[in-house]
Amino acid sequence: MIQGILRKGISGSIIGRAHQAARKGFANSSRSFDTTSVSILSAAALMVTTGAGYIILWNKKQDDGDDDDDTTDVINWSGTHKVTIANKNYWEPESIEDVERIVKDCHKRGQSLRPIGSSLSPNGIALNGNGMISMANMDKVLKIDTEKKTITVEAGIPVRLVVEALRPHNLTLPNLASIAEQQMGGFTQIGAHGTGMAVAPVDEYVTKLKIVTPGRGTIELSKEKDGRLFELARVALGLLGVVVEITMECMSAHLLVEHTFVLTRKEAISRKDQLLKEHKHTRFMWIPYTDAVIVVTNDPIDQDTPHNVSASGTDEEKKKPLTDLLQELCIENGQEFSSDDAKGMGFGELRDTLLAFAPLDVTHVKRCNKAEANFWKSNEGYRTLPSDELLQFDCGGQQWVYEVCFPSGTLENNDNSDTTFMEVLLQKIEEKNIPAHSPIEQRWSCGTSSPMSPAAGTAESLYTWVGVINYLPSDDPQQRKDITKLFNTDYTDLVRHIGRPLKAVSHWAKLEEPTSVWKAVELKSLYLERFPITEFNVARGIYDPNNILSNPLLDLVLGKPIPHDQE
């Protein structure tokens, strides 16, 4: 039997279509997971189309009838991290009592038990081949308090279902990441963020937690009563216990008007302060090797205010820069081009198909990036939708992503390290001819009171988040290996090097294992400067003294729990 994984590429998804395209000769190779080596389970196998246009199979139990099989492959969304685990060490509780029993037993035996959510994290931070506890079956809404505007849920519920449950009450979540398939446990434990200079990462909106801990059993923590411990537990990477219940602040449901437009780099830099101050949510997408910066702003709009909708032009016209390039590439490579197939592809799929021709060839990448900049120019305009729909967006296909976060002054006085960082980064990418895929995304948040968040700080402090990306547009093993090598050495080294003086640390879900001893040393010294690691490890010593909740990556970065012998 095989336990839950989260993946994309179920038939009918864009991956299915990319296969078709490949068969017809669009690209040199197709893309999908190797479903022979990774089995999929999930009873309630919830298939959903995300904002990104992908179909995701949920991490939830399903009996595949293969009882002889006694191991499970668990893989993250990007297919970049995988562990094989004995089924006897993979638990899927259905109640708090189940969790309590499992945690108690594993604690006694010193058995690894890493909490896993939807396994979306690009670095597979939830994985541990020696033992995992999936929260997918604990997915209920427990209470919606319309007066206090809070929602209490079981930690395994996906964010998307929380948003749906709130809709009839005219409520919504105050902040979202670009997708909503994460479980509330993973979403908050990792400290996910959206964008907006006065909008905190999602953990800041958590008001109560119920956690089953190995060392001290079940504990309930709240903002009012538990101060620092509560704050530490909000972003704890699953290291203080298995979160079973979460209460989060909500806000009234509202519409947002989204404005998408393209600026030059110079314009983006000179208008940044004004854009951040004037708009509730602002993000920049820098396109390497072009002078284009895509700006997307979102602002609440009165339900009754008339508004413009969308740029003019059909979907086909808007995608023309991408489909034209695809046609050119097919001709150049002696491959068959079908305009019907090209028309059927979404934006992300088209980009993957284009890149798949030569994802590491910088001349080719420049052509793809130029087509993407033109695509955005033909997509300038406005649209209005509920906030929980607009704050999600297309993140593209399987990818390596490295996202850093660093302080950028205050809401009042931006110190401009955000744009200086971008200028230097783009200049170095272009000097070194790095085949940097598009976009490099820049977002902002204010500080959160969770000390283990990369954006730990006051509500007046400003943080910027910058994510570089290289897609994995094919399942050709050699191509994936080459992209992986380039990304995890040259590209991320560059970002780290530029970010070091700014104390830029990685998003917890995007922190990869250092590739050398020296890089590990550097990373540890930076993390000691940025996070209260000793304090956190003392808390781990109390709540998980046998270190059953961790994994090798976190042991390397944070060290082990510090034993604590006082009651």
Ligand X SMILES: Cc1cc2nc3c(=O)[nH]c(=O)nc-3n(C[C@H](O)[C@H](O)[C@H](O)COP(=O)(O)OP(=O)(O)OC[C@H]3O[C@@H](n4cnc5c(N)ncnc54)[C@H](O)[C@@H]3O)c2cc1C
User: Contact residues for ligand X (CB under 6 A)?
Assistant: 52, 77, 114-122, 125-126, 135, 155, 177-179, 182-183, 185-187, 189-190, 192-193, 237-238, 242-243, 395, 507, 509
Which of 188, 479 has the CB closer to ligand X?
Answer: 188
Q: How far is the CB of 190 from ligand X (least distance, A)?
A: 5
Output the CA–CA distances (angstroms, integers) from residue 363 to 357, 374, 396, 430, 472, in the order listed.
12, 17, 21, 11, 18
Alpha-carbon 262 to chain mean position? 24
Cβ atoms of residues 319 and 464 within 8 Å: no
Output the CA–CA distances (angstroms, integers) from residue 468 to 93, 285, 314, 383, in the order listed.
37, 10, 30, 27
- Cβ atoms within 10 A of the Cβ of 444, count? 27
For 280-334, the three-class secondary structure string (H helix, E strand, C coil) is: CEEEEEECCCCCEEEEEEEEEECCCCCCCCCCCCCHHHHCHHHHHHHHHHHHHCC
Which of 125, 276 has the CB closer to ligand X?
Answer: 125
Which of 330, 350 has the CB closer to ligand X?
Answer: 350
Which of 182, 260 has the CB closer to ligand X?
Answer: 182
Tell me how far apart the alpha carbons of residues 263 and 284 are, in angstroms, rounded to a whole number.
10
Question: DSSP H helical segments within 128-242, as ranges?
Answer: 159-166, 184-189, 223-234
Q: How far is the CB of 266 from ligand X (least distance, A)?
A: 27
Residue nearest to ligand X (CB): 186
Tokens representing 351? 């980009």
- List, in order, residues 6 or more apart from 501 with CB less than 8 Å away: none
Q: How far is the CB of 166 from ligand X (least distance, A)?
A: 18
Which of 25, 532 has the CB closer to ligand X?
Answer: 532
Which of 40, 358 has the CB closer to ligand X?
Answer: 40
Q: Map tokens 């004004």 to a residue.
A: 274
Q: How far is the CB of 341 from ligand X (least distance, A)?
A: 24
Q: How far is the CB of 242 from ligand X (least distance, A)?
A: 5
- List, in order, residues 6 or more apart from 356 with CB less than 8 Å away: 18, 22, 27, 28, 29, 31, 473, 474
Q: How far is the CB of 479 from ligand X (least distance, A)?
A: 20
Which of 237, 486 has the CB closer to ligand X?
Answer: 237
Q: Which residues of 1-26 are buried (b: 16+ CB within 10 A; e: fewer)?
A: bbbbbbbbbbeebbbebbbebbeeeb
Which of 30, 550 has the CB closer to ligand X?
Answer: 550
Q: How far is the CB of 283 from ligand X (least distance, A)?
A: 9
Q: How far is the CB of 291 from ligand X (least distance, A)?
A: 25
